[in-house]
Amino acid sequence: MSIRTNILLRIYLAFGLILLLAGAVMVQMVRLQFVQGKKWKAMSVKLTTRYMDVPAARGNIVSVDGSLLATSVPQYDVHMDMLAGGIAEDHIFYSKIDSLAAKLSNLFGDRSAKDYSRILRNGRNDSSRYQLIHHSVTYQQLKDMRTFPIFRMGKYKGGLIAIEENRRLLPFRALAQRTIGYQNINDKNKVVNVGLEGAYANYIAGVNGKRLMQRTVGGTWIPVNDDDNEIPTKDGADIISTIDVNLQDVAESALRSALDSSQADHGCVVLMEVHTGEVRAIANFTHMKDGSYKEVLNYAVGYATEPGSTFKLATYMTLLDQHKIDTSSRMDCEGGRAHVIPGNDKYTVTDVEHNNVMSALQAFEESSNVAAAKFVYRAYSNDPWEFTNKLYSYHLNDMLDLQIPGEGRPLIKNPRSRSWSKLTLPQMAYGYEEKLTPLQMLTFYNSVANDGKMIAPIFVREIQRMGNTVAQFQARVINPQVCSPQTLKLVRGMLEGVVNNGNGKTIIKNKLYSIAGKTGTAQIANGSSGYSSGGTKAHQASFCGYFPADKPKYSMIVLISNPTKGSYLAAKVAGPVFRQIADRVYASDLDINQATPTIYVGNVTLPAVKKGNVNALHKVYEKLGIKPLYASNNTKGSAPDTTGGIAGEDLSYKPGTVPSVVGMDLSDALYRLGNAGYKVSVIGSGEVTKQSVTGGSLIPKGSKVTIELQ
């Protein structure tokens, strides 16, 4: 073969391979375009668009009196599509951009109009489809923005993109903050449930929606403005708590003041309604490094500690119910210092007072440790199980199974316990070598006030969704009868005696109403150093009881840990807090305060009354001894005579229609709209000035009504 022929052969082979490859490429292109076209197009869309979650608005937490304890307020991150259809032409964009910049500057006040204009122009030059305008925009601000130049063209033409986020708002700020609680994810990626927010997260959270998002060239995901491709959120249910805002405020104020005065480590208060078990107020404060007191831990629910002398109620109830003693049984307290266990001179029980021979009633009233230890040791030293089994029958060793998480575990020892010793039985008699949380102790005292029926405290009364009841809760009965009626009568008399005759008479006793309860001063462990560190002892002061003693409606416990200024005795530290709160509750509760009402006389300027239900208003007038005045024809609805009385404006509505709430405050408006069956969204604070649906309108129950307050 000649050289020329060889070269041509190679050239033909190369061209043949090229043509073959080109043919294969053409075949593959046709295959991709027409045979597999749908598959690859779908994959392309999947890679550049996806559905993302849109968080639902969390439900409200409402107090028993209708006040908002926690709510979700919508906020928006506002962006702008610089290439939207209405401003695609440069002359349209640049002719209006300075006007838009001036409006934005005036609305937010954080930048000058010139700065906003520069940001918008730079976004246009960069062909940004998702230019950030402002973070945390309120609903009212967003409404105003939709009227601005360019933005008023509409969502698609004007390029306004608003991404809604819900911010959790506590209208009363730190009030009941720990009880309201939260749910979040900790550093270990575990869910942390605290308070009502955590316990009822499944109800409050609602159901997230879906929004179609598209990834830009730069990797940013922006929403596709297409309502057909959005799945709406489902707002969370509302929690109707048992907390009373006014009583909560009273409890927190009294506790904080006492902690400031005593410079204690921490303290708590729980106020509970006797017959329902509903917790009306719960306050917990911790001493911070800066000297302030804040709600950090829920001591009332989670802090199990040796209760001290408040436990003597269980001790004497057991002794009386098993007929080991009666209230007149006498005991030699040996001047307030005694060796309780025969032959053991090292174990000494002491009293604050130097008492000698006392009756059981006097010993309880004066809180004698010696008497309690001697009574119990004499009665049960041969069979301690008889004592501990009776304590177990009260369910003191059982958890309360509360509606909120974090309950501390109680401890009531028995002879099988590892740490049981010869000293355990007498020490249990006056509140040592056992552990109870303040709420567990209050539950036991509440059973005495509740005619012997022990019920578990509750924090949530009802769950509502769109105005409709989802679930209702009542207190669970733990023990229908903790002791015999005769014993119950005796211990109630003893609790009243503490306040009337014992160590509570000078501070806690009130002439207007009766109080029953027991003081408790316990020495507590001072960290890892034990009960005494360098001669310094730490104490816990508590008072637990109920009022009015003759017809109990409220039970309450006050606990203050390690007071470092002034006295550490319970009657002087915890007792005044109990008395202060009880006085305020008694003064505000017309069901228990039957004092003669104040009568307005002379030329006195009477208070103005906001719009409301006149019939309900008249009931208040009757309680206060005020006669409502009307025109001379004395016809309701006619022009009232305001010269010598209080006039009320009736505000009624036709069932099935939206009530008018303009002019009301927030609590009244929420109560009226909620009772009518509507979901309420709140904007602002103060008095209602606008509502999204006019009063008298016919819309389905469960619909959302937005009210604006100023």
Could you report the per-residue pLDDT of 20-45, keeping only the tens digit for each?
A: 888 888 877 777 677 776 665 655 55
In 597-709, which residue ranges form alpha helices assigned H by DSSP? 614-624, 666-675
Distance CA 396, CA 700 (A): 49
Same domain, 218 and 136: yes
Kindly give the interhelix angle for 485-500 and 312-321, rounded to the nearest 10 degrees.
140
Please give the C-alpha separations between residue 497 and each of 543, 582, 607, in angstroms, as whole numbers.
Answer: 14, 18, 43
Is residue 186 located within the same domain as residue 283?
A: no
pLDDT (0 to 100) of residue 638:
40
Name the nearest CA neighbour of 66 among 462, 405, 466, 476.
462
Return the SS3 of 104: helix
Distance CA 504, CA 365 (A): 8
- 233 and 253 assigned to the same domain: no
Judge whether residue 249 has pLDDT over 70.
yes
Same domain for 631 and 578, yes or no, is: no
Over residues 374-420, the pLDDT tens digits come to 999 999 999 999 999 999 999 999 999 999 999 999 999 999 999 99
Total number of domains constituting the chain: 4
> In the prediction, which pLDDT does 530 show?
58
Domain match, 559 and 648 both: no
Residue 603 lies in a domain: no
Band (pLDDT 50/70/90 cuts) for residue 641 is very low
Q: Are residues 333 and 222 in the same domain?
A: no
| Same-domain status, 284 and 388 | yes
Write out pLDDT tens, residues 576-595.
999 999 999 999 888 887 65
- pLDDT averaged over the chain? 86
pLDDT exceeds cutoff 90 at 548: yes
Residue 606 belongs to some domain of the structure: no
pTM of the predicted model as reported, rounded to 2 decimal places:
0.75
Q: Helix (H, G, I), strand (E, B), or coil: what is residue 392?
A: helix
**Residue at 110 is within a domain:** yes
Judgement on whether residues 212 and 124 belong to the same structural domain of the protein? yes
| pLDDT grade for 626, boundaries at 50, 70 and 90 | low
Alpha-carbon 85 to chain mean position? 48
Question: Does residue 205 lie in a domain region?
Answer: yes
Q: With beta carbons less than 8 A apart as the criterion, state whether 436 and 303 touch.
A: no
pLDDT at res. 607: 56
Is 594 within the bounds of a domain? Answer: no
Overall average pLDDT of the 665-690 stretch: 78
What is residue 102's three-state secondary structure?
helix
Give the per-residue pLDDT at 233: 79
Asked whether residue 299 falls in the same domain as residue 260, the answer is: yes
Domain that holds residue 312: 246-588
